[in-house]
Chain A
């Protein structure tokens, strides 16, 4: 795959992973760009030891983890104002709420669930994070429960 092809195919996917991590449009865009700069720099050395997707998501999630060095930019924890209105809930609001919920999880949970959302296999998630597959399964189960709980609460009180 050439860089151009990778770029076209993975830009939205990497963006969503970053968005799940920080829930801030501009910040996520910056991390996505940083990720693709790394991909471009390291592509000549890529040896196909793992799938290209696994490799790219590994770089992307490590870029997310590095954001700890940029302490000034804190994730937006508040709900966007329009979400607080108790009107009919459109999909847009649900999308925003989902990303909000994910960004409120613990750092590793954000990465794991985002990879699951991007249809990565559990073996691939295990390879990216560096834990066993069984551990991925356990963590995913816990995270999904947390998310369902939040959504149940949200739908009940909107």
Chain B
């Protein structure tokens, strides 16, 4: 059996499963859209709550030095940036190409994944930098009130912990993310190659 018509006849005999009711499908689609909307709403609420929290801290605590306040704000900005970036509200661009040709779609997907890899690296650095700078600034006022021995111990422990994060945890997490994305990118490029072959 090697005739294309034989293949076609076999192909069309594949039993298709029962179609779900179109109403069920549509309500699923509406559900997905609402989920996206509530995600956006949640992200906005988090932004707003952080803002309120910053104002609250500004008004209610009474540090003597400006570095303490700056420290709190910088740390919170870091946390906020992390929440927003992981909330998945940055919609992949290639979704808008779902109706174009496979070649076009693959191209967009590869470009997006490469951009995502780059963004992850940049973003991780910003996040770690903000958190570290924020905590060190925040500590400054309290360290000034300690004896120099305790101040040194406090800074040494904090900087040690940050060093562990920078030098061990961050590269490890970044590598894991990057490996996953790179694997996907090379698979996509392999498929793209099939188009031009």
Contact = CB atoms under 8 A, between A and B. Distances in A.
Contact of B29 (A41, A66, A116): A41
Contacts of A8: 19
B60 interface: no
B191 interface: yes
B14 A19 contact: yes
Most buried by B among A41, A108, A131: A108
Contact of B16 (A15, A55, A109, A128): A15
Interface in B22-41: 22, 25-26, 28-29, 32-33
A103 to B, nearest CB: 12
Contacts of A80: none
A40 B29 contact: yes
Contact of A99 (B2, B14, B16): B14
B195 A108 contact: yes
Most buried by B among A63, A118, A130, A151: A130
How big is chain B's contact interface, by range?
Answer: 35 or more
Contact of A130 (B2, B20, B33, B103): B103
A145 B109 CA distance: 31
Interface in B1-51: 1-2, 4, 7-8, 10-14, 16-17, 19-20, 22, 25-26, 28-29, 32-33
* Interface of chain B, main secondary structure: helix
Interface residues of A, number: 55
A69 B184 CA distance: 7
Interface string A18-49: 01100001000100010011101110000000
Contacts of A94: 1, 10
A36 B20 CA distance: 11
B101 interface: yes
B10 A95 contact: yes
B14 A95 contact: yes
A42 B8 CA distance: 30
B133 interface: no
A134 interface: no
Contacts of A12: 16
A37 B24 CA distance: 11
A61 B14 contact: no
Interface string B97-118: 1111111111001000000000
A1 interface: no
Contacts of A66: 109
A20 B8 CA distance: 12
A135 to B, nearest CB: 9
9 contacts: A15-B17, A16-B11, A37-B25, A62-B100, A68-B191, A98-B11, A111-B102, A129-B103, A151-B1
Instruction: Give me the 6 closest cross-chain CB pairs, A-B, nearest first.
Output: A130-B101, A130-B103, A148-B2, A12-B16, A108-B194, A117-B11
Interface of B: 1-2, 4, 7-8, 10-14, 16-17, 19-20, 22, 25-26, 28-29, 32-33, 97-106, 109, 184, 187-188, 191, 194-195
